Structure 1
């Protein structure tokens, strides 16, 4: 009788083990199907590389400002964003904007953040780039670029590194490096499905950064650097897919 009970227990254990194995196999096959579908879409002749460009702030929200020079972040980043979009469109990239004018349909900050993420997600964008300028009222000596992503060793970081490298090559200001979620959580990076990066192009409280970013040449160079970083990242991903 004891022997029979032990046999029955062993049978039940074996059945449970097989059920676990079947569940794991099902999960694995599902992931393979999803990844295969994703790769098929990306390799399809109808696929168009899509980026969502997010000029920070806008409308009622000026962002940071240098009142002495009457420069608002929202205007500066919009100019650079539109220049960037034009460069990318000339390279057959589909560009989606969260705004193209100094108008936004949202009335609060949380609505604005949610709306920007939704635009990117609804467009099924491959990349999301939010463009901003910084400010530090305690000292006008602080300057430099920062590129934000969520975590290390991710596609977000790979894109951030490309953009950071291209911006630093301009040489107009200090390279303050990459920043991560551990340094501060950013809603748009956390809530967009695309590979996502936020860039701070400089400090409007610093006269050197302000002068460069406000100039037509500075805007053109920043837009070109951002485009080069984006396209270099994109081409590297294409090469990886071809080698896979």
Structure 2
């Protein structure tokens, strides 16, 4: 089994720390800061051997150099963004494989938030490290991509096994839930989930990971029937202050 630890960082980032007990291998996903990650690994007696990067934004890569200097780890990320991630050791693309111990993760190309964004999908145990493509009840902004690309990316994610756990990189769920309630006011599943999210955040607990099945039921972007609807919802969310 792979143990996954949530490491909060910066204002609302979640850095994910994975550990395979059999091999002793430890992987960090999207370290926007080094200190919290190194402290979390040290507290558990884990030695970081790899970093997996989903995209080039600073709040996902700024910890790379310090972690690499401290551990000698290998950094893997999107080949399409290699020129924007100077610490990268290995560039990967659609269908490539990375491993933690004996467990394989397949690279999915999921452009939209950035032009070369990728995700890491483990079939067993079923997990997706999705960076800034999908969040609980939301999706990433279209900084470099299009609504059509995001619609396709979310469709790929929605087609995964419904029990797949999704590890997004930000705690945006409270705002996303409020937007979802406005977007689909008659959706009982959204109302129930919004209440659960409010309760979790009231005691400072994370709302991630989520699951594919939960996003199918409550995420207005995943539930967009076509590109035009997704585009309209993304524009509305960009201006949303609720």
**Normalised-by-shorter TM-score class:** under 0.3
- Structure with greater Cα Rg: 1
The structure whose residues are more often strand, as a share, is 2
Q: Which has the higher contact order (CA 8 A, sep 6+)?
A: 1
TM-score (norm 2): 0.26
